[in-house]
Amino acid sequence: MTGFIADSKTQSALQFPAEDAQGGAVLTPGRLAWRRFRRHRMAVAGTLIMAALLLYVIGGAFVWSESYANRTETGNRLAPPTLEHPFGTDAVGRDVLARTVYGGQISLLIGVSAVLVSLTFGVLVGALSGYYGGVIDSVLMRFTEAMFSIPSLFLLIVMSKFFGGRVPSFDVFGRTLSGSVIVIVGVIGLTSWMYLARLVRANFLSLKQRDFVLAAECLGVRNRDIIVRHILPNTLAPIIVAATLGVAGAILSEAYVSFLGLGVQPPTASWGNMLENAYNYLESAPWLWFFPGLFTVLTVLSINFIGDGLRDALDPRTLK
Is 60 exceeded by the pLDDT of residue 7? no
Confidence of residue 10 (pLDDT cuts 50, 70, 90): very low
Between the CA of residue 205 and those of 127, 202, 213, 238, 314, what are the distances in Å?
Answer: 9, 5, 11, 14, 20
CA distance 192 to 170: 25
CA distance 244 to 230: 23
| Percentage helix, strand, coil for the chain under 3-state DSSP, each rounded to 5 | 70, 5, 30
Cβ 250 vs Cβ 110: under 8 Å: yes
- Position 176 scores a pLDDT of 67
**Least confident segment among 89-103, 135-149, 300-314:** 300-314
What is the arithmetic mean of pLDDT over 88-114?
90
Confidence of residue 52 (pLDDT cuts 50, 70, 90): very high
Q: Which residue has the higher pLDDT, 67 or 19?
A: 67
What is the arithmetic mean of pLDDT over 232-252?
85
Cβ 283 vs Cβ 180: under 8 Å: no
Render pLDDT for 143-202 as a digit per residue (tens, 0 to 9).
999 888 888 777 777 877 777 667 776 776 666 677 778 888 888 888 889 999 999 999
SS3 175: strand
Beta bridge partners of 176: 171
- Position 3 scores a pLDDT of 43
Is 60 exceeded by the pLDDT of residue 1? no
Cβ 268 vs Cβ 185: under 8 Å: no
Q: Which residue has the higher pLDDT, 183 or 80?
A: 80
Domains of the chain: 65-304 (1.10.3720.10)
- Position 319 scores a pLDDT of 52
The overall pTM is greater than 0.85: no
Return the closest-CA partner of residue 296 out of 239, 244, 241, 247.
Answer: 247
- Arithmetic mean of pLDDT over the chain: 82
CA distance 153 to 150: 9
Render pLDDT for 201-232 as a digit per residue (tens, 0 to 9).
999 998 888 888 888 888 888 888 888 888 88
- Position 5 scores a pLDDT of 40
Confidence of residue 20 (pLDDT cuts 50, 70, 90): low
- Position 26 scores a pLDDT of 63
- Position 165 scores a pLDDT of 67
Is 70 exceeded by the pLDDT of residue 21? no
- Position 15 scores a pLDDT of 44
- Position 318 scores a pLDDT of 58
- Position 279 scores a pLDDT of 83
Is 80 exceeded by the pLDDT of residue 122? yes
Q: Using the 8-state DSSP alphabet, how is residue 235 labeled?
A: G
- Position 74 scores a pLDDT of 81
